Amino acid sequence: MLNFALVGCGRIAPRHAGNLASGKILNAKLVAVCDIKEERAKAFGEKYKVPWFLDMHDMMRKMKDKIDVVNILTPSGDHAQHAVDLAFYGKHIVVEKPMALTLSDADKMIEACDRFGIRLFVVKQNRFNLPVVKLREALLENRFGKMVMGTVRVRWSRDQAYYDQDPWRGKWEHDGGVLSNQAIHHVDLLQWMMGDVESVFAKSATRLVNIEAEDTAVVVLKFKSGALGIIEATTATRPKDLEGSISILGEKGTVEIGGFAVNEMKVWNFVDNQKGDEGVLTHFKQNPPDVYGFGHTEYLNNVVHSILENKAALVDGLGGRKSLELVSAIYESIETGREVTINFMPEKCRLGLKRLGK
Ligand SMILES: NC(=O)c1ccc[n+]([C@@H]2O[C@H](COP(=O)([O-])OP(=O)(O)OC[C@H]3O[C@@H](n4cnc5c(N)ncnc54)[C@H](O)[C@@H]3O)[C@@H](O)[C@H]2O)c1
């Protein structure tokens, strides 16, 4: 049995608390929560019937023999400092996406966890959506042949009130824009399916809200395989969310997963049909409950399984770093107006840094 504690009781926290407290995650339970905002910590503690704290160090010290894993659910710009501070207590760490906002912060987190002999897991729950798992299976079976093109589309709706609800949202220092916050899931999926990226060229705009970072971006990618890719990402879709999708095109097949959160199989066409292909569209046609996708339950199950069985996690610190590297390269291209190759040294990318000149 693994005992989990949460740091941060905000919007995403019910996904973690609800799963851990309900018994949906085998061999796991919630034992403590913490938030610097008393009303949030207290409300969570009372709802899930666990001790609540206002300071994570206080929680880690008082509960040190009871906690095995701590989940960092704080604003993105704080993940790195919180992970490095928490690593000291020697408990495994789950951190929400994006793991950090700069590659050097991501490296510090990985190093700290290595130094204290603990595991680091980065939340990428969409990898566990059933149609996504099915697509990955087809890729591993080499059903696509030569890869041609991969496209992801994030057409979501976030209005000014969404950004204004917390001071960290949309700020370069704490969050970034649609690429680093919302589309990082899709960036991760695109790279997972299409393989490593050679270069990116991107443009961004802030169209419908007043925030520092972008609400809209387009990216052209070249993969190391020679295939091409497109990322289309916006939180300026109005009046409501339209889609979160991925299309993979290869010499011998085409798959498209759509819905709001990459969880509805739309197209499953292969030159060489296999047994079971005819049922794929029916079996994977399901509507998502909301834009976060289905996967936190499966994601947390994977964390528990990896720890208890000492198996590799689907997304560890290095896996989380990979999508951050790609997003950072995209921001670098936006700032420089140039195509950026990977690996690269960020020079202009503003994500995670104080605004230039301020
Ligand atoms: N996986 C997903 O699909 C998904 C969805 C939403 C958010 N997220 C990520 O989760 C993180 C949190 O997002 P959110 O929307 O829940 O934000 P939020 O602002 O609603 O919640 C963050 C909470 O952390 C608390 N906090 C800040 N500093 C703290 C500290 N030192 N100790 C304890 N608590 C502290 C805040 O008071 C707040 O309640 C972000 O990184 C975001 O990108 C992931």
- 97 Cα to the center of ligand 1, angstroms: 10
Three-state secondary structure string covering 44-108:
HHHHHCCCEECCHHHHHHHCCCCCCEEEECCCHHHHHHHHHHHHCCCCEEEECCCCCCCHHHHHH
pLDDT number for residue 289: 56
- 139 Cα to the center of ligand 1, angstroms: 34
Look at ligand 1, atom 14, and give the residue with the nearest C-alpha.
Answer: 11
d(CA 328, CA 255): 28
263 pLDDT above the threshold of 60? yes
39 pLDDT above the threshold of 70? yes
% the chain with pLDDT above 70: 96
Average pLDDT over residues 17-36: 95
Cα 319 off chain centre by: 10
| 80-90 pLDDT per residue, tens | 999 999 999 99
- 242 Cα to the center of ligand 1, angstroms: 24
Pairing between strand 28-34 and 2-7? parallel
Containing 120, the helix (H) or strand (E) segment is strand 120-122
Q: To test the ligand 1 pocket, which listed residue (82, 96, 127) has its Cβ within 8 A of the most ligand atoms?
A: 96
- 168 Cα to the center of ligand 1, angstroms: 10
350 pLDDT above the threshold of 80? yes
All residues at 6 or more sequence positions from 117 whose CB lies less than 8 Å from its CB, including other chains: 90
pLDDT number for residue 358: 41
**Among 106-110, 166-170, 232-236, 293-297, which stretch is predicted with the lowest mean pLDDT?**
293-297
* Residue with more model confidence, 250 or 260: 250
132 pLDDT above the threshold of 50? yes
344 pLDDT above the threshold of 90? no
Residue count of the chain: 358
Contact criterion met (CB below 8 Å) for 109 and 86: no
pLDDT number for residue 243: 95
Q: Which residues line ligand 1 (CB under 6 A)?
A: 7-13, 34-37, 40, 56, 73-76, 78, 96-97, 123, 125, 166, 181, 292
| 319-337 pLDDT per residue, tens | 999 999 999 999 999 999 9
Domains of the chain: 2-125+297-316 (3.40.50.720), 126-265+280-290+322-341 (3.30.360.10)
The pair of three-digit structure tokens given for residue 51, joined into one six-digit string? 């001790």
SS3 345: coil
Average pLDDT over residues 12-27: 94
Confidence of residue 292 (pLDDT cuts 50, 70, 90): low
- 181 Cα to the center of ligand 1, angstroms: 12
pLDDT number for residue 220: 98
d(CA 318, CA 262): 23
| pTM listed for this prediction | 0.95
The pLDDT mean for the chain works out to: 94
| 135-150 pLDDT per residue, tens | 999 999 999 999 999 9
**Among 126-140, 141-155, 340-354, which stretch is predicted with the lowest mean pLDDT?**
340-354
